[in-house]
DNA sequence: TCCATGATTGTTGTA
DNA sequence: TACAACAATCATGGA
């Protein structure tokens, strides 16, 4: 990116309905709507910095050049802070300035004769204000966010950021909104108009001024990366059925000017491989959302409310900018949430897979799909999710006993209520599972047992298999010992999960059990004393010949 | 380190 | 009516 003067935008393009993508890429980097380029700038080779920044948030197609705007020639005082990236003007119209590579041909700029009348439907777009809104960004940006807790940040940041990116004071934001609202009502910008300037909030990217905020400098990354604000594959660059005429126009334009079309890389929509969304088991716990996703979720609403016409792309860009500007502490706050969610997810996933294994063992026909790790919706009964996982950032994937639908759990419990108590106490249990039973545990021990069963089936799959075969107790014990010493291949499927879980939860769990699961054993004994009069767990394994698994 | 995947929300199109 | 695709962006995990 060099300092290309505005004169490098071909006036012939301006006069046509060519999409912005046909304008020189280097110019595109500015994301400035053509409509706000003053003809006098074009004529007199004024630097691009004189372009009004207030339109940065809009998506005005080229053809909506406002004559009156074009007619209005404002003089800008040079002491105003520079708003845009082009600080220096190099070269007179077609005079060879700014050329920094293949795309920087010189252009002869014929005089532009603006229409005398604005298109009536476009009159609303006329900007009554004559001032150029260049506010020194660096003056307040960095210190702006600090006083606020990160919970407050999204809204605060958004308002400030919008103001900053548009170089607008907050008080002028409504004008932008109004403008975009008008846009939306008159021209469906993003979806139906192929002649669309793909406006990106990441505009002020190449601001060489050190005074520019960190936000803007960070914002620039994307623009640089993409090489164009109208990235390949974006809707604005995607040829539409109505674009054939436009393409012809463009072709002729290219012929006329000798200009190469923008590189095919820029024009050609990136051939996205058809991504197939695999069917997901509705019972499968959803992955924990990333910190950024949490932030997005928190922020987008405020952005949308302040900028109702913002498309998802706009919102994404804004959120990204805000994320970049987000303080490390705030990010950490989100990351902590993510970490917590991840732990819960691992718990839920372990439980989920355990249920899958159990279920599929009882339904061997479907075991194949389990082993190929391709859970499908038909694998599980059409029950509601066994472990409801509300996507709340604060308490995602709550897995407490209260979180289990009792009916579902009982569906698994049934006759196996006593099944795995001792097995659980003997085997290594997941920390949180074997932690001190929650208060509700005594009310509903089967829940705990059931959960434990799931965990056990996860960690000691061979045991489950032997139980499932209703082997005599002696076999079960042998199987247990064997499994404890040498995990058979069947367990490998979960080994990573187990290790990951321990890594993630392990020592951090407040109720982390001792390896022997003594705690669990205690409550188990207590429960069994009441439940089965001690026959179940008091040493005799006789009671264990009850069905251990669903049969 | 790079790449694929999935997450965010809302709209649109299709089965 | 339900679901998939899509948009821009980032995080994450695996190769």
Q: What is the 3-state secondary structure (H, E, C) of A322-334?
A: HHHHCCHHHHHHH
Q: How long is the CA A320 to C1' C10 vector, in angstroms? A: 8
Residue A176 binned pLDDT confidence (cut-offs 50, 70, 90): very low
Mapped onto helix, strand or coil, the DSSP state of residue A523 is: helix
| pLDDT tops 50 at residue A204 | no
Q: How long is the CA A74 to C1' C12 vector, in angstroms? A: 50
More confident residue, A164 or A78: A164
Residue ranges of E strands in A16-75: none
Query: Strand B closer than 7 Å to the CB of A293?
Result: yes
Q: pLDDT per residue over A357-406, tens digit each?
A: 777 666 654 444 434 333 333 333 333 333 333 333 333 333 333 333 33
What is d(CA A96, CA A40) in angstroms, rounded to the nearest whole number?
19
Mean pLDDT: which of A131-145, A148-162, A326-340 is highest?
A326-340
What pLDDT shows up at residue A159? Answer: 43
Query: Strand B closer than 7 Å to the CB of A240?
Result: no
Query: Strand C closer than 7 Å to the CB of A323?
Result: yes
What are phi and psi for residue A429, nearest 5 degrees? -110, 155
Average pLDDT over residues A238-251: 34
Residue A279 binned pLDDT confidence (cut-offs 50, 70, 90): low
Mean pLDDT: which of A61-65, A126-130, A258-262, A299-303 is highest?
A299-303
Q: How long is the CA A550 to C1' C1 vector, in angstroms? A: 37
What pLDDT shows up at residue A281? Answer: 66
DSSP of A346-399, one letter per residue?
HHHHHHHHHHHHHHHHHSGGGHHHHHTT---GGGS-SPSPSS-----SSSTT--
List of residues 6+ apart from A349 with CB closer than 8 A: A284, A285, A497
Do A361 and A464 meet the contact criterion of CB atoms below 8 Å apart?
Answer: yes
Do A48 and A33 meet the contact criterion of CB atoms below 8 Å apart?
Answer: no
What is d(CA A70, CA A104) in angstroms, rounded to the nearest whole number?
25
What pLDDT shows up at residue A280? Answer: 60
Which nucleotide has the least CA–C1' distance to A276? C4
Mean pLDDT computed over every residue of chain A: 41
Find, among A333, A282, A22, the residue nearest to A153 by Cα.
Answer: A333
Query: Strand B closer than 7 Å to the CB of A277?
Result: yes
Which nucleotide has the least CA–C1' distance to A320? C9
Query: Strand B closer than 7 Å to the CB of A349?
Result: no
Do A65 and A112 meet the contact criterion of CB atoms below 8 Å apart?
Answer: no
Which nucleotide has the least CA–C1' distance to A274? C5
Do A349 and A396 meet the contact criterion of CB atoms below 8 Å apart?
Answer: no
Do A38 and A51 meet the contact criterion of CB atoms below 8 Å apart?
Answer: yes
Average pLDDT over residues A482-495: 37
Window A191-220, strand C contacts by Cβ < 7 Å: 198, 200, 202
Which nucleotide has the least CA–C1' distance to A289? B7
Query: Strand B closer than 7 Å to the CB of A275?
Result: yes
Find, among A7, A101, A59, A312, the residue nearest to A186 by Cα.
Answer: A59
More confident residue, A107 or A519: A519
More confident residue, A312 or A489: A312
Give per-residue burial for A528-537: e unless 16+ CB within 10 Å, then b. beebbeeebb
Query: Strand B closer than 7 Å to the CB of A485?
Result: no
Mean pLDDT: which of A3-17, A69-83, A295-309 is highest?
A295-309
List of residues 6+ apart from A305 with CB closer than 8 A: none
List of residues 6+ apart from A405 with CB closer than 8 A: A384, A386, A388
Query: Strand B closer than 7 Å to the CB of A304?
Result: yes
Do A29 and A228 meet the contact criterion of CB atoms below 8 Å apart?
Answer: yes
What is d(CA A282, CA A286) in angstroms, rounded to the nearest whole number?
9
């Amino acid at each position: 990116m060099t300092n290309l003067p505005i004169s490098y935008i071909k006036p012939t393009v301006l006069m046509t309905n060519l999409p912005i993508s046909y304008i020189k890429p280097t110019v595109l980097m500015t994301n400035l709507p053509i409509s706000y380029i003053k003809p006098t700038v074009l004529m007199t080779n004024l630097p691009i910095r004189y372009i009004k920044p207030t339109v940065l948030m809009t998506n005005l197609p080229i053809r909506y050049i406002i004559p009156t705007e074009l007619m209005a020639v404002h003089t800008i005082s040079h002491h105003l802070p520079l708003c845009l990236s082009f600080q220096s003007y190099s070269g007179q119209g077609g005079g060879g300035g700014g050329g920094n590579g293949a795309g920087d041909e010189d252009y002869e700029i014929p005089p532009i004769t603006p229409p005398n009348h604005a298109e009536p439907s476009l009159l609303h777009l006329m900007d009554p204000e004559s001032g150029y809104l260049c506010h020194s960004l660096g003056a307040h940006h960095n210190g702006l966010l600090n006083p606020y807790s990160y919970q407050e940040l999204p809204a605060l940041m958004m308002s400030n950021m919008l103001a900053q990116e548009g170089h607008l004071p907050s008080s002028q934001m409504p004008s932008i909104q109004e403008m975009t609202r008008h846009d939306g009502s008159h021209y469906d910008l993003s979806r139906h108009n192929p002649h669309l300037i793909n406006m990106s909030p990441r505009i002020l990217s190449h601001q060489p001024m050190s005074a520019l905020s960190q936000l803007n400098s960070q914002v620039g990354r994307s623009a640089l990366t993409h090489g164009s604000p109208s990235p390949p594959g974006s809707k604005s660059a995607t040829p539409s059925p109505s674009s054939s005429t436009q393409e012809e126009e463009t072709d002729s334009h290219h012929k006329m000017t000798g200009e190469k079309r923008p590189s095919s890389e820029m024009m050609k929509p990136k051939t996205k491989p058809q991504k197939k969304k695999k069917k997901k088991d509705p019972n499968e716990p959803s992955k924990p959302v990333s910190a950024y996703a949490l932030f997005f979720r928190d922020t987008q609403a405020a952005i949308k409310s302040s900028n109702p016409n913002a498309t998802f792309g706009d919102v994404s860009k804004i959120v990204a900018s805000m994320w970049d500007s987000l303080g490390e502490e705030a990010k950490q706050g989100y990351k902590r949430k993510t970490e917590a969610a991840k732990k819960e997810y691992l718990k839920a996933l372990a439980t989920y897979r355990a249920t899958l294994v159990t279920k599929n063992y009882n339904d061997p026909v479907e075991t194949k799909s389990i082993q190929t790790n391709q859970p499908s919706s038909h694998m599980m009964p059409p029950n509601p999710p066994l472990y409801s996982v509300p996507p709340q950032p604060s308490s995602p994937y709550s897995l407490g006993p209260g979180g289990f639908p009792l009916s579902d759990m009982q569906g698994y419990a049934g006759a196996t209520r006593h099944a795995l108590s001792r097995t659980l106490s003997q085997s290594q249990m997941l920390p949180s599972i074997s932690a001190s039973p929650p208060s509700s545990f005594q009310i509903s021990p089967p829940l705990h047992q059931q959960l434990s069963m799931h965990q056990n089936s996860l960690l000691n799959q061979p045991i489950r298999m032997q139980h499932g075969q209703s082997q005599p107790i002696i076999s079960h014990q042998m199987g247990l010992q064997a499994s404890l010493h040498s995990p058979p291949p069947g367990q490998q499927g979960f080994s990573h999960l187990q290790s990951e879980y321990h890594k993630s939860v392990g020592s951090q769990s407040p109720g982390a059990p001792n390896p022997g699961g003594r705690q669990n054993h205690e409550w188990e004994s207590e429960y069994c004393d009441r439940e089965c009069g001690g026959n179940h767990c008091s040493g005799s394994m006789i009671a264990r010949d009850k069905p251990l698994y669903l049969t």
